[in-house]
């Protein structure tokens, strides 16, 4: 789950990424729907799996379908983490020149790039550590603990009077971001009702888009006020306080509650979020998974090398590697120059166009995720990205008319960002926890996102160098080729998870699972 941002002026391209719980005793809106877990085994030697179509739900015709409402407030609170994430992605893009001038490193492009991107180092470490923390503390407490580096990092950055202070502040922010990018998809996948898990999962992407757009608007005064950057960094600490407070009223993941032996609390959360009719069958599924996989909160990292965990970790790492080497950071870096070619010299305006395309794609994903499915969206997204890259490469290599070439480049850039935010952005972060086992979901996500941050850094580091050597068109052609490869990978190595509970998916993909249907 990564979203789009853009640097307003050429700077070292180490640019970023991407990429709930109320008191269980309180009353909540209830809903009812039923499903039947599918019992079957699949070969452990195959990465390509094909699950049969889920059976149609048998709903009470007298009851209205409001299944997403009970979980929505909790997911919304968790998505505030992504708003913080998006805000910090964009907050330094505009005022970096003012920061450099005031802190004494103006004109040093290496240090300017380091200030913008130091959070990648912190994010990598945060992603690696997040899996163990979530296993021990649960999602709610991890969310609240994670607000500490986010708030402190923002305040230290806002009060910085030296290069070291601004770097430490940005590093702490990155540490919090690294934990959040892992934690939010896990939390949403574990508290959202099965039928609406995809749609609610896209709130991650929407939250990040809104955070970027908010930072871009707040960046505007920095063009005339050289000290405005301190104000917007102080503002960055505000959402962290809101998140910490909101998590006091959000529910804990029922799956984590069951793992640590809090059966009554797990039943209460399930009843409040998914409906009382789901309690017994869901608890049976939890129990079956634990009995067959030995789920515990003390799992080790070396277990990622064992089946079926190694398969999920491989898929997660491969998805993020393909996502990043499909060129999202390079395209976003170069988009400001592309807009400048057609007369849009304002970096903020160019960023706004990018943000609106990204937001439109995220809204489309909200509607399509549970309607069309993850696999189809991912394939369509990467095909669209490939077409966009090839369009831009052709416009640059074979210009019929200069104005037409520039317009095609703009069209290709916006289409690339739009199609990315429909599938490659939101689906990648959502499908990994769906394919992961309950025992190692946190660690698989942590590993996958650590691959993401490393690839993110490499693309940012090498992009301009490759452009200088080969030119824009060949580099974009490579991005398009990787996008096609990603579409092929999604076609043949992913399963469709739409409409299936996490336990149902795990039972189906784990060859060691002994089927026990405990239902009458």
CA distance 326 to 485: 9
Query: Diameter of the chain by CA atoms?
Result: 73
DSSP letters spanning 43-105: -TT-S---PPPPPPP---TTS---TTTTTHHHHHHHHHHHHHHHHHHHHTTTTHHHHHHHHT-
CA distance 510 to 520: 24
Task: Quickly count: other Cβ atoms within 10 Å of residue 516's Cβ.
Answer: 13
Q: What angle do CA 184, 72, 20 make, to 5 degrees?
A: 40
3-state SS class at 491: helix
Name all contacts of 352-356 with Cβ < 8 Å and 24+ positions apart: 352/213, 352/216, 353/414, 354/4, 354/5, 354/6, 354/413, 354/414, 354/417, 355/4, 355/5, 355/209, 355/212, 355/213, 355/216, 356/213
pLDDT in tens, 89-143: 878 766 777 888 889 888 787 887 788 778 889 999 999 999 889 989 999 999 9
% the chain with pLDDT above 90: 50
The answer to whether domain 69-190+197-252 and domain 310-519 are alike in fold is yes
What would the two tokens of residue 454 be?
């490393």
Q: How far is CA 475 from the centre of its chain?
A: 25
pLDDT surpassing 80 at residue 276: yes
Domain 69-190+197-252 has CATH 2.20.140.10: no
pLDDT in tens, 495-512: 899 989 898 888 888 766
pLDDT surpassing 70 at residue 40: no
Q: What angle do CA 239, 254, 52 make, to 5 degrees?
A: 110
Which among 117, 145, 115, 148 has a CA at the least distance from the CA of 130?
145
Residue 460, pLDDT score: 81
**Which helix (DSSP H) or strand (DSSP E) does residue 309 occupy?**
helix 309-325
pLDDT surpassing 70 at residue 1: no
The residue to which tokens 């480049």 are assigned: 409
Domains in the chain: boundaries: 69-190+197-252, 310-519
Q: Whole-prediction pTM value? A: 0.83
CA distance 396 to 408: 9
Domain 310-519 has CATH 3.50.50.60: no
CA distance 285 to 131: 23
Residue predicted with more confidence, 359 or 63: 359
What would the two tokens of residue 61 be?
């015709």
**231-249 burial string, b = 16+ CB within 10 Å, else e?**
ebbebbbebbeebbebbee
Distance between first and last Cα of the chain = 40
Residue 516, pLDDT score: 43
């Amino acid at each position: 789950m990564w979203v789009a941002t853009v640097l307003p002026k050429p700077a070292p391209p180490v640019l970023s990424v991407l990429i709930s719980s109320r008191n269980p005793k309180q009353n909540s809106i209830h809903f009812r729907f039923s499903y039947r877990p599918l019992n079957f085994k699949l070969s452990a030697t195959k990465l390509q799996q094909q699950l049969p179509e889920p059976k149609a739900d048998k709903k009470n015709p007298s009851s209205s379908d409001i299944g997403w409402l009970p979980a929505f407030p909790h997911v919304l609170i968790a998505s505030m983490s992504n708003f913080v994430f998006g805000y910090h992605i964009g907050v330094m893009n505009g005022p970096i020149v003012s920061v450099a001038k005031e802190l004494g490193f103006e004109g040093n492009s290496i240090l300017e790039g380091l200030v913008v991107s130091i959070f990648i180092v912190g994010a990598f470490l945060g992603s690696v550590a997040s899996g163990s923390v979530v296993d021990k503390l649960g999602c709610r407490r991890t969310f609240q603990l994670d607000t500490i580096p986010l708030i402190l990092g923002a305040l230290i950055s806002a009060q910085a009077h030296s290069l070291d202070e601004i770097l430490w502040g940005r590093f702490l922010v990155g540490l919090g971001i690294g934990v959040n990018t892992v934690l939010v998809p896990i939390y949403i996948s574990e508290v959202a009702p099965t039928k609406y898990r995809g749609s609610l999962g896209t709130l991650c992407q929407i939250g990040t888009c809104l955070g970027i757009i908010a930072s871009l608007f707040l960046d505007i005064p920095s063009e005339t006020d050289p000290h405005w950057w301190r104000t917007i960094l102080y503002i960055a600490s505000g959402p962290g306080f809101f998140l910490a407070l909101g998590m006091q009223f959000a529910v804990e993941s029922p799956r984590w509650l069951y793992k640590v032996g809090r059966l009554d609390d797990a039943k209460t959360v399930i009843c409040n979020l998914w409906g009382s009719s789901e309690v017994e069958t869901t608890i049976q599924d939890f129990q079956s998974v634990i009995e067959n996989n030995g789920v515990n909160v003390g799992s080790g990292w070396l277990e990622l090398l064992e089946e079926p965990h190694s398969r999920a970790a491989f898929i997660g790492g491969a998805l993020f590697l393909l996502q990043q080497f499909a060129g999202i950071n390079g395209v976003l870096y170069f988009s400001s120059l592309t807009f400048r070619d057609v007369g849009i010299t304002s970096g903020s305006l160019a960023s706004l166009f990018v943000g609106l395309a990204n937001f439109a794609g995220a809204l489309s994903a909200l509607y399509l995720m549970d309607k069309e499915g993850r696999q189809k969206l991912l394939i369509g997204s990467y095909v669209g990205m490939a077409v966009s890259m090839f369009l831009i490469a052709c416009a640059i290599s074979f210009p019929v008319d200069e104005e037409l070439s520039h317009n095609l480049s703009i069209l290709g850039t916006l289409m690339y960002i739009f199609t990315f935010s429909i599938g490659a952005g939101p689906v990648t972060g959502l499908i990994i926890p769906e394919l992961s086992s309950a025992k190692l979901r946190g660690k698989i996500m942590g590993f996958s996102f650590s691959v993401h941050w490393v690839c993110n850094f490499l693309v940012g580091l090498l992009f301009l160098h490759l452009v200088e050597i080969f030119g824009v068109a060949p580099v974009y052609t490579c991005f398009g080729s990787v996008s096609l490869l990603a579409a092929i990978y999604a076609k043949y190595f992913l399963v469709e998870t739409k409409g299936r509970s996490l336990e149902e998916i795990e039972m189906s993909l784990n060859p060691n699972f002994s089927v026990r249907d405990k239902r009458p």
